[in-house]
């Protein structure tokens, strides 16, 4: 089992550049995030208490911020939930159920991909008309999924927002 280190920046007050000096740990804000670096890392320091699990081998911790939009379909009498980056659609009887369903769908897909020997997330964007539902949508929930995906360990943040179908 790996050891657990507290953020180095948390102790030193550094703005994140020292993350690379923590043996075997990658800051989770690195990787796919653009415009990251010290600014985003310092936010992590400010949030405090975040820990990295460090094993004998380097463990990459990556973060994907995903967006899901939920909307009511009166015709089908359900709330649809649509993850736009992954084009994953699901539904529930209520808003709350739809949020839980899209969380489960993303996790199910990621785990299935890993079992198939594939990267956990297969990015394929939803059509533009689906992205348009985000306009004016209200953020209602954020979920954090931790997917074990050896040799990667990915932390995925899902940020669903509400949009009502016209």
Partner 1 sequence: MPVRARDLIRELGQLGFTIEEPSRGSHRIVRRERLAFVRPLHNALKSEVADVYVRKLCRLFGLDEQALREKL
Residue pair 46/37 in contact by the 8 Å Cβ criterion: no
CB nearer to partner 1: pick between 16 and 92: 92
116 belongs to the binding site for partner 1 (CB under 8 A): yes
Binding test (CB under 8 A) with partner 1, winner from 63, 64, 67, 91: 91
x/- track of binding to partner 1 for residues 26-65 (CB under 8 A): ----------------------------------------
88 belongs to the binding site for partner 1 (CB under 8 A): yes
146 belongs to the binding site for partner 1 (CB under 8 A): no
90 belongs to the binding site for partner 1 (CB under 8 A): yes
109 belongs to the binding site for partner 1 (CB under 8 A): yes
79 belongs to the binding site for partner 1 (CB under 8 A): no
Residue pair 18/12 in contact by the 8 Å Cβ criterion: yes
Q: In terms of Cα–Cα distance, which of 57, 119, 73, 110 is closest to 88?
A: 110
Residue pair 84/125 in contact by the 8 Å Cβ criterion: yes
CB nearer to partner 1: pick between 88 and 147: 88
113 belongs to the binding site for partner 1 (CB under 8 A): yes
Tell me the two tokens of residue 28: 């989770």
Report, in Å, the least distance between residue 88 CB and partner 1: 6
């973060």: which residue's tokens? 63
Residue pair 30/47 in contact by the 8 Å Cβ criterion: no
Report the C-alpha gap between 55 and 105 in whole angstroms. Answer: 29
CB nearer to partner 1: pick between 27 and 92: 92
Residue pair 8/21 in contact by the 8 Å Cβ criterion: yes
């Amino acid at each position: 089992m790996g050891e657990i280190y507290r953020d180095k920046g948390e102790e030193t007050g550094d703005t994140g550049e020292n993350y690379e000096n923590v043996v075997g740990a990658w800051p989770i804000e690195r990787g796919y995030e653009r415009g990251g670096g010290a600014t985003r890392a310092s936010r992590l320091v400010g949030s405090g208490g975040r820990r990295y699990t460090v094993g004998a081998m380097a463990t990459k911790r990556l973060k994907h911020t995903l967006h899901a939009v939920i909307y009511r379909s009166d015709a089908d009498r359900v709330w649809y939930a649509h993850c736009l980056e992954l084009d994953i659609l699901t539904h529930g009887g209520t808003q709350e159920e739809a949020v839980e369903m899209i969380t489960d769908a993303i996790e199910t897909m990621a785990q299935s991909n890993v079992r198939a020997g594939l990267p956990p997330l297969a990015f394929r964007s939803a059509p533009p008309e689906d992205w348009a539902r985000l306009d004016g949508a209200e953020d209602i929930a954020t979920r954090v999924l931790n997917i074990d995906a050896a040799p990667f360990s990915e932390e995925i943040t899902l940020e669903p927002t509400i949009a009502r179908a016209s």
